[in-house]
Chains A and B, each alone.
Chain A
């Protein structure tokens, strides 16, 4: 039996007294690909931020477990060290540190081990080639002056380099052109194995072309209102999110 990685139990959360997540349950096992879809403002990014421990969001009820451990109160860097990763919907620009140094330092702090510069460089160049990223981006400052699409590729690059146990991809495919979606999609496919898991937040199923999604969840108004297989995606395209609400009996 595959191991349970993430368990979100009866999660309620708010920001500045505004309740956003209203009783959400989610379980992700090793080897699984989960997709979350939902209308704008439903709380998808909020969920991702809470799983990573963003300090602005308050968990008012419920818990988050990772590999059986309660991480509801854990610091963000501790969660990262346990193997959680978030590809941001809007990645930050960090000038003053190059992509390569950033990722190398990041791997070092995550693993607690020294990362040899030369071997790392070689590995990084290979991954960048696969993502069809210009190698020069390694010496550019983190996301600084990158286009929207380049920032998303940079997130996937970081995912591949840091090799987390659970990668949450928040609209990584939006803002990418058709070719870029393909490369990102094959990057994700390459990452995927039986020991890790992916949670993909998306509006677009192109990213799933090369990937089999095990579960599709519909998140609306802070709750998961429906879960199913890939057939659910077609249903969403046909009837829209509005129909889901009636299904959930609201």
Chain B
């Protein structure tokens, strides 16, 4: 099935004159595929967690009404072609120390993955869920997904998503979340691979004193196209948000970053800030940033910054005086740039994998 989906990753207010900033378009084959057969869950289900497969998803969708930043047409595509789905429920008051880890491997037998995961953190519970997408084999792989996170009163939910697909793959990923009073939703996103990586994350701070963070890293190399759209909406009073993104662009990669902090009328006493920082390794990259602060409420504090740095030549020189080759020195600088976000990835072996993945990628830079 050949498809064109328009209006993907649309920003909330179209104030920008360049077309690429307002939204993007998705074109290509979006085939249906049989169920994803592997069990992505690594390790056992910890006490205090319930994991349900597929069917109950719809009930949760309807009950919590999260709003993914996906156009109706694409949502319909995902709904109709979903081939893997889970509901993860963290029961009330439980603190789950070990992260719940879903690892999706795309390969010849499952070249198309359309996954839906709904994570519910009940009142005062705490947990971390990690979802990783990685490839095996050299087929053109396609992942489209929707992860929903809902934190009830006082709950704390950490979601870590890592995408390490191969050069020819496509990744279209949506995260939608909401936090009730005093709840925290913290999302870490690592977009490291794929030919086309179209991602968004939308979190509603519904309850008073709730908090949300999006920390992300992205890596552009070769001809990768990264299209990013984050939004945190302050609905409740005294809510706190932060969007923090760090990226590296090399070769002829392209990136559009949209980050919106939306103070909705009534969200008095709220604070939000966003920061995006890109290091450019090549003069041939395309780098567009559109940080946006929307103030429908006066009594709020918002700050945003986007900056672009050429590779810091003094740092490069310093490292080379210590014997590191130019490539190795660049890797060290890149790791340094990613480090504040990588530190939030609590799974050591995953962190190691990310490091070696990045190293491998950068050996061509």
Chain A residues engaging chain B, CB cutoff 8 angstroms: 49, 52-56, 75-77, 79-81, 84-86, 88, 91-92, 94-97, 102, 105-106, 109-110, 141, 158, 162
Contacts and interface: CB of A to CB of B under 8 A. Distances in A.
Contacts of A54: 317
B129 to A, nearest CB: 26
A231 B312 CA distance: 42
Contact of B324 (A53, A56, A109): A109
A97 B342 CA distance: 12
Interface residues of B, number: 24
Contacts of A91: 318
Contacts of B332: 94, 96-97, 102
Given A54-B317, A76-B317, A88-B318, A96 B323 contact: no
B328 interface: yes
Contacts of A52: 317, 321
Nearest to B343: A96
A55 B311 CA distance: 14
B318 A94 contact: yes
A75 B320 contact: yes
Contacts of A55: 313, 317
A149 B86 CA distance: 55
Interface stretch (B208-216, B269-277, B333-341): B333-341
A162 B320 CA distance: 14
Given A95-B336, A96-B332, A96-B337, A106 B315 contact: no
Nearest to A105: B324
B47 to A, nearest CB: 34
Given A56-B313, A77-B326, A96 B321 contact: no
A162 B322 contact: yes
Contacts of A53: 320
Nearest to B312: A92
A80 B338 CA distance: 27
B325 A77 contact: yes
A94 B320 contact: no
A94 B315 contact: yes
B292 to A, nearest CB: 28
Nearest to A86: B321
A109 B325 contact: yes
